[in-house]
């Protein structure tokens, strides 16, 4: 299978590319940084869709990092351009391709649901109304246009992705290893997570299973409250985890973006589990030692 990965030099894209190559597949990566310094592995790295050529599958992970700083007007526009506008461009490229791919696995996020407190959320739950939710809705809408071109479209709503090499966990580890870690805000908010290992497995499962389409929550089946996650991480590192980061400090530091850290989303992967996907890391007590070792 020849797969195009957009955003392939990112935290998820690198691991996905490596997994595909290890399984003997051909990989083309679309990235702004196709250089050896990125540690990116692929058969071919390109900067433009016009350089791609025919592929069998497209995995769209393109998007500016939402959690890298305050959400200024310029950064919000960059989020829209890198997700919504790019996906529109991607579908237009597919429409004029001499050989269209069979499947589009399109990245999205559980931000689609908004802050929902203790409500249990599945793929059939209503969307939220805040900026992140609207961004995800528009992003997915552009991807769905590929169905009219004959593609099977899977929309993957990803939660907090855990691995020691990047993402949220990498940012947390220094404080927790120093014994200065703890919950964010009240700690009562729900955190829906998945290991990078399982997320990569889910992406490949969606791409390679011809009967699957629609929305899929990329989260483990056992979400937990933020305070319980902090305790579990402290146990895994054999360190105390009792120093909370107050909500007002997070809002002063990050402004609107603090909603990503303080929002509550109790998300279950109902579509994946009922369709036969099995997690290697289903609960946090098994997941953290696996990603930290």
pLDDT per position as a tens digit, 94-109: 999 999 999 999 999 9
Task: Write the CB contacts of 249 (distance below 8 Å, at least 6 apart in sequence).
Answer: none
CB contact at 8 A, 108 and 158: yes
Q: Which fold has domain 2-292?
A: Rossmann fold (3.40.50)
What is the pLDDT, as a whole number, of residue 232? Answer: 97
Q: Is the pLDDT of residue 145 over 50?
A: yes
The ranges assigned to domains in the chain are 2-292
Q: Is the pLDDT of residue 130 over 90?
A: yes
Q: Is the pLDDT of residue 68 over 50?
A: yes
pTM value?
0.95
Task: Determine the Cα–Cα distance for residues 222 and 284; give it in Å rounded to an integer.
Answer: 8
Q: Is the pLDDT of residue 40 over 60?
A: no
Q: pLDDT band at residue 36, thresholds of 50, 70 and 90?
A: very low
Task: Determine the Cα–Cα distance for residues 240 and 77; give it in Å rounded to an integer.
Answer: 40
Tokens of 267: 């998300």
CB burial of 255-272 (b: ≥16 within 10 Å; e: otherwise) equals eebbbbbbbbbbbbbbbb
What is the pLDDT, as a whole number, of residue 215? Answer: 98
What is the pLDDT, as a whole number, of residue 37? Answer: 36
What is the pLDDT, as a whole number, of residue 38? Answer: 45
């Amino acid at each position: 299978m020849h797969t195009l990965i957009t955003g392939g030099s990112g935290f998820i894209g690198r691991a996905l590319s490596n997994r595909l190559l290890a399984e003997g597949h051909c990989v083309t990566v679309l990235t702004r940084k196709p250089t050896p310094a990125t540690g990116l592995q692929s058969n071919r790295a390109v900067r433009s869709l016009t350089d791609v050529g025919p592929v069998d599958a497209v995995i769209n992970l393109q998007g500016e990092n939402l959690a890298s700083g305050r959400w200024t007007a310029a950064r919000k526009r960059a989020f829209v351009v890198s997700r919504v506008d790019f996906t529109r461009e991607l579908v237009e490229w597919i429409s004029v391709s001499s050989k269209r791919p069979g499947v589009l696995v399109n990245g999205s996020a559980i931000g689609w649901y908004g802050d929902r407190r203790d409500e249990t959320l599945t793929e059939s739950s209503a969307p939220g109304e805040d900026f992140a939710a609207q961004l995800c809705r528009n992003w997915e809408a552009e991807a769905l246009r590929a169905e009219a071109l004959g593609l099977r479209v899977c929309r993957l709503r990803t939660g907090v992705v855990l691995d020691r090499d990047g993402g949220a966990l990498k940012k947390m580890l220094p404080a927790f290893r120093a014994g200065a870690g703890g919950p964010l805000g009240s700690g009562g908010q729900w955190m829906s997570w998945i290991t990078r290992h399982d997320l990569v497995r889910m992406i490949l499962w969606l791409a390679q299973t011809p009967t699957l389409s629609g929305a899929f929550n990329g989260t483990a089946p056992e979400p937990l409250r933020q305070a319980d996650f902090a305790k579990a991480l402290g146990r895994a590192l054999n360190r105390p985890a009792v120093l909370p980061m107050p909500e007002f400090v997070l809002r002063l530091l990050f402004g609107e973006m603090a909603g990503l850290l303080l929002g509550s989303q109790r998300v279950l992967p109902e579509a994946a589990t009922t369709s036969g996907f099995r997690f290697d890391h289903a609960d946090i007590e098994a997941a953290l030692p696996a990603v930290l070792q």
